[in-house]
Amino acid sequence: MDTTYAITLCEGTSCMQQGMRHLSAVLDEQLEKHGLKDRVKINISGCLGMCHKGPIMVVNPGYTLYGGLKEADVVQIVEEHLIKGRPIARLVIEEDHLFNRFFRIFGDVNFFGKQMRIALRNCGIIDPENIDNYLALRGYEALAKALTDMTPQGVIDELKTSGLRGRGGAGFPTGLKWQFTADQDNDEKYVICNADEGDPGAFMDRSAIEGDPHTVLEGMIIGGYAIGATQGIIYIRAEYPLAIERLEKAIDQAREHGLLGDNILDTDFCFDLEIRLGAGAFVCGEETALIQSIEGGRGMPRPRPPYPSVSGLFGKPTLINNVETWANIPVVIVDGGEWFSSIGTEKSKGTKVFALAGKVVNTGLIEVPMGTTLREIIYDIGGGIPNGKSFKAIQTGGPSGGCLPAEYLDTPVDYESLAEAGSIMGSGGMIVIDEDSCMVDIAKFFLEFTQSESCGKCTPCREGTKRMFEILTRITEGKGCEGDIEKLERLGDMIQKSSLCGLGQSAPNPVLSTIKNFREEYEEHIRDHICRAKVCTSLIAYKVNDACVGCGACKRACPVHAISGRTKQKHTIDQTQCVRCGICFTTCKFNAIDKI
């Protein structure tokens, strides 16, 4: 039987500069020449991170890693490896980055072939309930290295070199945060993992914990070592029972193996972890509200300064990072900060996990190097818009993010570029929107969420988002007035600048960005009473057209008996009774009902 192969060519900047395009053309030629085109799939990936050994090619199955390729090497690979099944030893490189394992197994899958899994490196290839799996894949090697070969300051320096920034959304330089906390002179310090993940539909952190809890634990223990803490807390939302269970098991197993508790790995370092559950509040993902919640209080944020690194949990210096940030730490320590900083863009290093959702063919969790463009994510990895619909917008950053239209598709995904475009990185939500969605309705949907989750402490967020929501509701009901858009802009601007915490500061984002990028839709709703996407029920109507054969199916289906007509005769919908539920529209088998 002839083996089918999947070849991944690294098209990171470095490999491209070293001639990958030419090699790619040579490969194509060779495959054509030998009639192998239907047996060999070519994947293009972003930077695989081994730039000094480039150009890089990965051949799967078997995960053979070729580097330093020239044209003659490519020819030889096709002849020896693909046709005769014999990998060429002299071209194989032994780079053994932590993330390679995932690639080894899934590198031939199109969807994964274009990603770079660092935080999610073990998800899907280990049993998360078995610490031995984690240990076999160089698990806790970073901890051992840190405790025995590095000083706490050395760990922090490595982190600074890496350029890692907080993955919870704010993007604060992690090394700097660790430095601030380490610099505090206090015997009692805390390390916290923010696993509250409140964005509706987001599941990056959940998957990371469910798939590989130990990477988070390892990261936290290293963090405790670096700043001088002996106690860590994982604050996880109660709605993640499986993740909680896996965490508990992982903590137990780590303790059994001497990786948590007293004298870890026979050093003087003592550190232990406990789990605290959330209770259903989005605002408890905000760090100061989270701390209040752990202290037993109501999750309401506190003014900063003082920052948690100075005065956090119980008033002590506290290092609080997101799950994904912690998951990156072991890789930074083992593979080095310098290597890590070679991935991504100038100011945003490493990779980011995104939850790709909405109107896109491939939905799911992806992890890509910073700098990958939105277009690549939506079309190359996501597979584009299904059902032949056209792309309308992409919302990044969850309910606090902005909606970017097509002209922003070439925006590279990094903190600065997204902010400049008018959105945010957030924790990684990415929702693709097609022509069938109404931007005003979407803005209203997200504002409803943030208003209901507002903790109620500060006036702009508590009262202001409610008023913005009322205006948006009126607009979607066809009762918008001249001046409403200006009111939304005025309120939105004030709420962004005056709110106490990030929830309020970012709640107006969906509204303001849709007004900026889709103002005509708002104006159409207000002035013309038109919803071009035909979503806002008050602005649409259902009418029977001449294709109607009088079968009566719609009449029977209508919940408010708004349809009348005799059998075999064209039916009519009474517009005064119709509640725009759309059941007749979906029931009709003859396309005899128009949505206008």
Which residues would be at the binding site for other proteins (CB under 8 A)? 281, 283, 298, 300, 302-303, 305, 451-460, 462-467, 470, 487, 490-491, 494, 496-500, 505
Closer Cβ to other proteins, 243 or 500, answer by number: 500
Q: What is the chain's alpha carbon radius of gyration, rounded to the nearest angstrom?
A: 27
Q: Where are the alpha helices (DSSP H) in 437-582?
A: 439-453, 459, 465-476, 484-498, 502-506, 509-517, 519-523, 553-557
Of 369, 347, 366, give the one whose Cα is nearest residue 356.
366
Q: For the chain, report the end-to-end CA distance as a whole number of angstroms.
A: 57
Closer Cβ to other proteins, 67 or 397, answer by number: 397
CA 358, CA 432: separation in Å to the nearest integer? 5
CB 57 to other proteins: min, Å: 45
Cβ neighbour number for residue 38 with a 10 Å cutoff? 9
**What angle (nearest 5°) sits at the alpha carbon of residue 340, between those of residues 23 and 156?**
170
Closer Cβ to other proteins, 256 or 470, answer by number: 470
CB 314 to other proteins: min, Å: 15
CA 530, CA 525: separation in Å to the nearest integer? 5
Closer Cβ to other proteins, 33 or 490, answer by number: 490
Closer Cβ to other proteins, 291 or 533, answer by number: 291
Closer Cβ to other proteins, 52 or 490, answer by number: 490
CA 147, CA 263: separation in Å to the nearest integer? 11
CB 460 to other proteins: min, Å: 6
Query: Amino acid letter at 38?
Result: D
CB 304 to other proteins: min, Å: 8
Decide if 377 contacts 354 (C-beta within 8 A). Answer: yes
Helix axes 323-335, 204-211, angle to 10 degrees: 60
Closer Cβ to other proteins, 292 or 345, answer by number: 292
Cα–Cα distance list, 349 to 60, 129, 164, 171, 250 (Å):
28, 30, 6, 11, 29
Residue 591 is classified by DSSP as S
CB 381 to other proteins: min, Å: 33
CB 200 to other proteins: min, Å: 15
Cβ neighbour number for residue 230 with a 10 Å cutoff? 16
CB 230 to other proteins: min, Å: 28
Helix axes 323-335, 213-227, angle to 10 degrees: 70
| Three-class SS state of 523 | helix
CA 145, CA 491: separation in Å to the nearest integer? 52
Decide if 198 contacts 453 (C-beta within 8 A). Answer: yes
CB 497 to other proteins: min, Å: 5
Closer Cβ to other proteins, 142 or 300, answer by number: 300
Closer Cβ to other proteins, 298 or 534, answer by number: 298
CB 496 to other proteins: min, Å: 7
